[in-house]
Structure 1
Amino acid sequence: MRIKAIKINPTLVLFFNLLIPTLFMFMAAYPLNYILMAFASLVLVISGKLKRTLILISIYGLLWGGNIFFSTVLSVGSLAIFCVLMMQFMPCFMMATILFRDYTTAELLSALERLPLPRNLVVAVIITLRYVPTFKREFGYIKESMRLRGIAFTWKKPIESFRYFIVPQLFRCTALAEEVTSAGLVKGIDANIKRTSYYEQRFNKSDGCLALLLIIGIVWAGLWKI
């Protein structure tokens, strides 16, 4: 069955991604975690990412089962806590996949420029979001280079193996930073005039409904134990 995808405003997705981890600092994890997980799943589904939703829900189920297994059967508190922390992180990760995989740099920049934010902050956020996929790709290149040189990653020597990954990545960070800066200057990112954009990122009814639904869920979670 093909689901008609709804394009959600990138600003709203970014706000959700910042709000979700903040809520755990002031509210009890349960039932808030279940509500946020259901909300993140809903956002992915209406965005047309059903396969990704099922995969991430399966991972969440494995973490939930691992928490029960380690806390009741094996009585290993550290592993149980690790599973709980990963469960709390999962809704945030689900929302982050939308930003990293489903929006272009131009779409994100067009949405953020509508907000009353300093331009330097907007540029920094865009570069950070775009660098995460690049960081992952660079690790793939490093792994391939290690394979060609006969260097294998082994848990027997974690520090040495980690060094093979992180040292080339640090050097690549410097080169990529210069490339990103040059590309931004060529595109006039430092200009003091307001830029036009091919993409018109505006809030619509679906964005308002999602925001209202999240607020209702948060209020319900806050009143759960009262």
Structure 2
Amino acid sequence: MMGQNQILPLWLDPRTKILLLLLCVLSAMAAPSLQYEFLLVAGIGILGILCGKWKYALKGIVFYAMVYLFTVWAMNSMTGTLRNMFVAFLGLFHKVFPCGMLSGIVISTTKVSEFLSAMNHIHAPKKLIIPLAVMLRYIPTIGEDWRYIKDAMRMRDVSPSFQGFITNPGITIDCVYVPLMMAASKAADELSVAAVTRGIENPNPRTCLIQIRLGAGDAFTTLCFAAFFLAGMYLKEAG
């Protein structure tokens, strides 16, 4: 039985999550400085912790902090072509990482049934709903297959790491990446058939046991992300 003092994770409406992704993309594009992008990642990490994904959030923040420190070191210590190469690559990384981190939180905390009900509330077209619904189920399935393949290959002393790929590229491709590609293709076909079987193309309104509605948490998180985006625009124009 769940304790009375246990705090439930924050639940957000799927429509709010899509809006947060849009604001995150705009904030990353208009970021005036590296410090601003670091605060954006920290804010996404806090959101992940509130949603119950604290391990994922902490790993993302720590990893980004390491890349952030390396970027500062590269900008202050390197010179010439090597500096320009690293700065260009790391600049793209800093733009993409916040969006990818938030996307991971959105995908892992959104059920397909909730997403479909939310999209029906806004009367989204089926051509948009069906691919996104399959994607929400496809990515976790591929992640699960990837873990199974890694466990099986470790029993054969085949490492799926980058070092294993450098030392034994042929064996790594044959034993790790080829099975993963086959599993990905099979999973795509199975999920498409399962979606059609469950009536995803049914034009009638869908029902969901969980009531889909916008609440105080949706309003608060949207205001925070919107305020952060506006602050970035202001700092960029002022600078």
Instruction: Place the TM-score, normalised by the shorter chain, in its bin.
Output: 0.7 to 0.9
Letter in 2 for 1:44: G
- Structure 1 contact 67–81 (Cα < 8 Å) conserved: no
Equivalent residue for 1:104, pick from 101, 111, 121:
111
The answer to whether the 8 Å contact 1:20/1:91 transfers is yes
Q: Select 1:69's aligned residue among 57, 63, 73.
A: 73
Q: TM-score, normalised by structure 2?
A: 0.78
Match of 1:12 among 10, 16, 20: 16
Q: How far has the Cα of 1:209 moved from its partner? A: 2.0
Structure 1 portions without partners, runs of 5+: none
Deviations 1:34-55 (A, max 9, x none): 4422431332233244444333
| Distance in 1 of aligned mates of 2:129 and 2:207 | 15
Return closer, same or farther for 1:154/1:173 CA change in 2, 3 Å cut-off.
closer
Q: Distance in 2 between matches of 1:196 and 1:109?
A: 9
Question: 1:17 touches 1:92 (CA, 8 Å); kept in 2?
Answer: yes
- 1:106 and 1:182 map into 2 onto residues whose CA distance is 16
State the partner residue of 1:113.
120
Q: TM-score, normalised by structure 1?
A: 0.82
Calculate percent identity across the aligned residue pairs: 22
1:10 Cα deviation after fit: 2.0
Distance 1:87 1:205, change over 3 A: same
Matched, 1:197 2:197: no
Cα offset, 1:202, TM superposition:
0.9
Q: For the residues of structure 1 that align with 2:54 and 2:153, how far apart are their CA atoms? A: 35
1:10 touches 1:103 (CA, 8 Å); kept in 2? yes
Encode CA deviations 1:156-177: one digit per residue, 9 max, x unaligned.
4547734654433333233222
Q: CA 1:38–1:117 in structure 2 vs 1: closer, same or farther (change >3 Å)?
A: same
Q: 1:175 maps to which residue?
A: 186
How many residue pairs match? The answer is 225
Aligned partner of residue 97 in structure 1, secondary structure: helix
Which of residues 126, 133, 142 in structure 2 aligns to 1:135?
Answer: 142
CA RMSD of aligned residues (A): 2.8
Runs of at least 5 residues in structure 2 that lack an aligned partner in the other structure: none
Distance between the aligned counterparts of 2:214 and 2:132, measured in 1?
20
Mapped contact 1:9–1:203 kept (Cα < 8 A): yes
Aligned partner of 1:53 in structure 2 is 57
Question: What SS does structure 2 have at the residue aligned with 1:117?
Answer: coil
Query: Which of residues 123, 129, 135 is equivalent to 2:130?
Result: 123
